[in-house]
A and B are shown apart, each in its own frame.
Chain A
């Protein structure tokens, strides 16, 4: 599959006024057409910063220090702000976590979808309205004709997230970045949204970058996975392979600390054991350990891990990890 968006050796820094801290340190990701790449990690690992870098939406004081973000042939790190503005919402768009706060409360649904289309596609009122209606149908909002005139507060959380998706899809982007799109939603609604995203992706061949901390969502959605820890990509590979045999202790730790739903016979027999734990927490910016950044929380860390930064280990054609002591394939199944 052709790469649509390639992030190469991206370094992002924040200037706090008193010091410059590294936020992302050499993150490399590839997003392919029609596929979903899940970017996984705890808060503070750099997931959202990766997404915001790609969208050119880094907050004040954050800057890209090195690296490339290639959308097709174009390097988004180098292009001028006008060009970025022309691409955002058009060739690539973003779905945020909170549909409540990311929609404009004083504009109707129609206006918010039509706005994007008018800006990027040179369409007039009637045509834009037609596209807005078509998008609402595409995201399966019931009675779309009447919903066009609705304001965000008149919609449920699930409906609002559908409207967000409609806005994101209105210009048929090549890339959608979804930052925890279902965290604020109920489980049954989350299942609907995931299914909708998959269906739309099949129809449009859009590449999706799904930012999440939920390994369940990864299993549900992802073709490829990249695990971030403290600003570094510590494991990346095809989802099936990575979930079946996570190589990095952080990846297997994340999987072990999520309780697994056991249904049917498994619910009757499975023993009640404690959840796996990753002790401690993600180090704050500016306090990343010098060698392996996960070493202080890692049960397997040795002196070498504390002294020398780990090198990339290749486990398969596309599966690699950054660790001195990766899991052996057979012991990788997380105990839980």
Chain B
């Protein structure tokens, strides 16, 4: 239902240089599927999300949703199809109008897009409040009267009230407390099952992505370095960057033994990135070839693609992965 081809988002700087925020990303999402994008800050995952929503304009590429090319649509046409794709943002504190009552905030998309008879809209809002676990009486309250978790429920209600086919979730739980994160993740999971939604789910947290997503792309400096269905990725990851994310994720079970493989340095700047492999500067396996020649995303097995010259030849530094090969 969603096909993204060669999506690029570049921002020119006043110095004449260019920020390659998203640099040639392609993927597709089927109905009912959750497609995860993981990466560190600056990897371009949030820009990808915003480009899908046309909150930033793509520099190049195609975004096809249910037969419409969103990348080139004008504002009027975009508004007519907006109901089909909605977004949940990271920070539920800044994404709600503090002076608008909760019910009005959830109803606003219906009013703006002219969905349903005005009399029916209130019923839909009420049903939506119930669906996200809020009491319908809470419609009269203002955002500051809700906790962070409840606010995120409101944002989810507002995104889902137009009955979209695709919801882009940009770090929807990372601003929330652990116990509340679980509540929201379970809610998103349940809504997806009930409504046959597709998600594009952006996160820096591998464990969250593994829990929610059916397919996952690992993003580094504007590019996908590895894409696979979730089970394959977490069982047989082949890119050294994916390994480093896995090694860095603290895990209550594995504890200390896991973190021997630690990357040095910070992610480099997406301003005029290096010519070869963009990860070469931090990669413990990098050779001269990596620094000179750019690896392309190539298919390893069905549905598993890796952008590394040595994919499949390197021994994973994590014992669990080495075992499952």
Contact = CB atoms under 8 A, between A and B. Distances in A.
Interface of A: 42-43, 142, 156-159, 186-192, 194-195, 213-220, 243, 253-268, 272, 274-279, 281
A188 B320 contact: no
B180 interface: yes
B252 A219 contact: yes
B253 interface: yes
Interface of B: 40-41, 147, 149, 177-183, 185-186, 189, 204-208, 210-211, 230-231, 233-235, 244-256, 259, 262-267, 318-324
Given A187-B245, A261-B251, A264-B321, A192 B207 contact: no
B252 A259 contact: no
Nearest to A140: B264
A254 B181 CA distance: 11
A216 B250 CA distance: 5
A260 B252 contact: yes
Contacts, number: 154
A41 to B, nearest CB: 9
Contacts of A142: 265
Contacts of A243: 252
A277 B321 contact: no
Given A263-B321, A264-B323, A188 B245 contact: yes
Contacts of A195: 259, 262
Nearest to A155: B266
Contacts of A266: 320
B324 A194 contact: no
Contacts of B180: 42, 281
Chain B interface mostly: helix
Contacts of A189: 40, 266
A216 B247 CA distance: 12
B251 A268 contact: no
Nearest to B251: A261
Given A213-B178, A265-B323, A259 B208 contact: yes
Contacts of B246: 261, 263
Nearest to A265: B324
Contacts of B323: 264-265
A187 B40 contact: yes
A191 to B, nearest CB: 4
A278 B179 contact: yes
A159 B266 contact: yes
A42 B265 CA distance: 31
Contacts of A274: 186, 189
Nearest to B261: A191
A266 B318 CA distance: 13
13 contacts: A158-B266, A186-B267, A214-B250, A256-B182, A258-B252, A261-B210, A263-B321, A267-B233, A267-B234, A277-B186, A278-B182, A279-B183, A281-B149
Given A186-B41, A192-B263, A219 B208 contact: no
B178 A257 contact: yes
Contact of B207 (A256, A260, A264): A260
Contacts of B178: 42, 213-215, 254, 257-258
A150 to B, nearest CB: 14
Nearest to A263: B320
A71 B275 CA distance: 55
B41 A261 contact: no
B213 to A, nearest CB: 11
Contact of A277 (B183, B208, B251, B255): B183
B262 A188 contact: yes
A255 B252 contact: yes
Contacts of B318: 263-264
Contacts of B245: 187-188
A267 B248 CA distance: 17
A257 B234 contact: no
Contacts of B265: 142
A219 B204 contact: no
Contacts of A159: 266
A318 to B, nearest CB: 19
Contact of B40 (A188, A275, A277): A188
Contact of A268 (B182, B186, B206, B231): B231
Interface centre among B182, B231, B248, by most chain A C-beta atoms within 10 angstroms, is: B182
Nearest to B263: A188
